[in-house]
Amino acid sequence: MIIAKTIREVRENIAQWRREGFSVGLVPTMGYLHEGHASLVDRAVADCDRVVVSDFVNPTQFAPNEDLESYPRDFGHDCKLLEEHGCDMVFYPSVEEMYAPNAATYVEILDEMPKQLCGKTRPIHFRGVCTVVSKLFNIVQPDKAFFGQKDAQQLAVIRRMVRDLSYGIEIVGCPIVRENDGLAKSSRNTYLDANERKAALVLSKAVFRGEYLVKSGVTDSEKVLAEMTAIISAEPLAKIDYVSAVDGETMLPVDAITNGVLVAMAVYIGKTRLIDNFIAGGPK
């Protein structure tokens, strides 16, 4: 596996692969990799001749009060996992390699969708995500890029950016990978102490209950969200940021949960903010 720390190295390797006629897949990550990330790499390896994984904690998507400094990192472990899953090149740039000191150009969707759900508590988050993913697309120029359904709003935002800016890149959404007890895998789960780890199960419990209700034919958002909210509120360590049913593309609230509707939540367990979701009728 090639470890590339500079944009130049990435471009040289990609150019060589293109000369050899290979297709290229990209998996953007912030590192501290787990089986959720690995599932994206597996899908990329299955779909593409060569796979690039970026491992970069992107400062522009963190607000000053967020966890940029404490975000977990373990590049040695990441390389081991990536090698085991057949990644061909990991792009591991420094902040200075990605952003010039006076970098001031951003990619931002001027619409309601990035302001909904996570955008309410994280107003600059999706601008940072779009900017870094856009840069990664320009550096790697992949045929396909792979994103997790776990970050459902991010996936919708990236699809919109790709459409609006005519990136000729296919965006592949991949299912949520969970721990055995249901908790969605996340690098941030490492922040949880033993009691919080138990308490965090309310997210997946609420998701499974909501999914069950919708599958049983309940379509009234209010009813489904009320039951999900009650499950989370019963846990003293949990504080709800949002539990919402929204249109899968616009991210605007809906009254009826029909196929394609995203039912998503963000919940603080102690100081750790976790997210989870399901799509009615399953992802398209």
User: Whose Cβ is closer to ligand AMP: residue 30's or residue 225's?
Assistant: 30
77 is catalytic: no
Q: 13, 37, 144, 231: which one contacts ligand AMP (CB under 6 A)?
A: 37
Any contact of residue 185 with ligand AMP (CB under 6 A)?
Answer: yes
Q: 113, 132, 184, 266: which one contacts ligand AMP (CB under 6 A)?
A: 184
34 and 150 Cβ atoms separated by less than 8 Å: no
Any contact of residue 173 with ligand AMP (CB under 6 A)?
Answer: no
Among positive and negative, which fits the CA dihedral 206, 208, 212, 214?
Answer: positive
Q: Which of the ranges 89-97, 169-177, 200-208, 209-217 carries the binding residues for ligand AMP, by CB under 6 A? A: 169-177
Q: 13, 25, 26, 39: which one contacts ligand AMP (CB under 6 A)?
A: 39
How far is Cα 192 from Cα 227, in angstroms, rounded to an integer? 25
How far is Cα 240 from Cα 255, in angstroms, rounded to an integer? 20
Q: Which of the ranges 12-20, 34-42, 79-87, 205-213 carries the binding residues for ligand AMP, by CB under 6 A? A: 34-42
Q: 134, 187, 189, 277: which one contacts ligand AMP (CB under 6 A)?
A: 187
Looking at the DSSP bridge assignments, the partners of residue 274 are: 267
| Residue 270 zone, left/alpha/beta (φ > 0; ψ -120 to 50; rest) | left
Residue 208: φ, ψ to 5°:
-65, -40
Q: Which of the ranges 67-75, 98-106, 148-156, 242-250 carries the binding residues for ligand AMP, by CB under 6 A? A: 148-156
How far is Cα 153 from Cα 55, in angstroms, rounded to an integer? 21
Nearest-5° angle of CA 241, CA 243, CA 246?
125
User: Whose Cβ is closer to ligand AMP: residue 155's or residue 254's?
Assistant: 155
Rounded to an integer, what is the distance from CA 18 to the centroid of its chain?
28
Element (H, E) at 250: none
Q: 130, 176, 262, 265: which one contacts ligand AMP (CB under 6 A)?
A: 176
SS3 content of the chain, % helix, strand, coil (to 5): 45, 20, 35
User: Whose Cβ is closer to ligand AMP: residue 221's or residue 278's?
Assistant: 278
Q: 78, 151, 196, 276: which one contacts ligand AMP (CB under 6 A)?
A: 151
Element (H, E) at 276: strand 272-279
Any contact of residue 30 with ligand AMP (CB under 6 A)?
Answer: yes
User: Whose Cβ is closer to ligand AMP: residue 82's or residue 221's?
Assistant: 82
Residue 22: φ, ψ to 5°:
-85, 145
Return the half-sphere exposure (C-beta side, CA atoms, 13 A cut-off) of residue 210.
35
Q: 147, 167, 191, 278: which one contacts ligand AMP (CB under 6 A)?
A: 147
| Residue 63 zone, left/alpha/beta (φ > 0; ψ -120 to 50; rest) | beta
Of 34, 37, 85, 125, the catalytic one is: 37
Any contact of residue 207 with ligand AMP (CB under 6 A)?
Answer: no
Q: 4, 10, 24, 40: which one contacts ligand AMP (CB under 6 A)?
A: 40
Any contact of residue 36 with ligand AMP (CB under 6 A)?
Answer: yes
How far is Cα 62 from Cα 3, in angstroms, rounded to an integer? 25
Any contact of residue 29 with ligand AMP (CB under 6 A)?
Answer: yes
- Contact residues for ligand AMP, defined by CB under 6 A: 29-30, 36-37, 39-40, 147-148, 150-151, 174, 176-177, 184-187
